[in-house]
Homo-oligomer: A and B are copies of this chain.
Amino acid sequence: MELIFLGTSSAVHSKNRNHPGIVFKGFGEHILFDCGEATQKQMIFAQVSPMKISKIFLTHYHGDHILGLPGLIESMNFGGREKPLDIYGPKGIEKIATVVRSLSKENFKFEINYHEISEGTIIETEEYVIKSCRVRHNVESLAYSIEEIKKPKFLREKAIALDIPEGPLYGQLQDGNAVELEDGRIIQPEQVLGKERKGVKICYSGDTRLCEEMILFAKESDILIHESTYLIQDYDKAQQNAHSTTQDAAVVARDSNSKQLVLTHISTRYDEEFPIVEEAKEIFENTILAEDLMRIEIK
Contacts and interface: CB of A to CB of B under 8 A. Distances in A.
Interface string A37-76: 1101100110000000000000000111011101100110
Interface in A93-107: 95, 98-99, 102-105
Given A11-B78, A38-B38, A71-B37, A105 B63 contact: yes
A136 interface: no
B67 A63 contact: no
B13 A105 contact: no
A71 B75 contact: no
A14 interface: yes
**Among the interface residues A19, A64, A95, A103, which one has the most CB atoms of the partner chain B within 10 A?**
A103
Contacts of A41: 13, 18, 37-38, 41
A238 B68 CA distance: 28
Contacts of A78: 11-12
A75 B9 CA distance: 13
A38 B74 CA distance: 14
Interface residues of A, number: 31
A15 interface: yes
A44 B14 contact: yes
A103 B18 contact: no
A45 B41 CA distance: 14
A65 to B, nearest CB: 11
Given A37-B68, A63-B70, A95-B102, 19 more contacts: A12-B75, A13-B40, A15-B45, A37-B38, A37-B40, A37-B41, A38-B38, A38-B41, A62-B105, A63-B71, A63-B74, A63-B105, A66-B103, A67-B70, A67-B71, A67-B74, A67-B103, A99-B99, A99-B103
Interface of A: 11-15, 18-19, 37-38, 40-41, 44-45, 62-64, 66-68, 70-71, 74-75, 78, 95, 98-99, 102-105
18 contacts: A13-B40, A13-B41, A13-B44, A37-B37, A37-B40, A37-B70, A37-B71, A38-B38, A63-B70, A63-B71, A63-B74, A63-B103, A64-B74, A67-B67, A67-B71, A67-B74, A99-B99, A99-B102
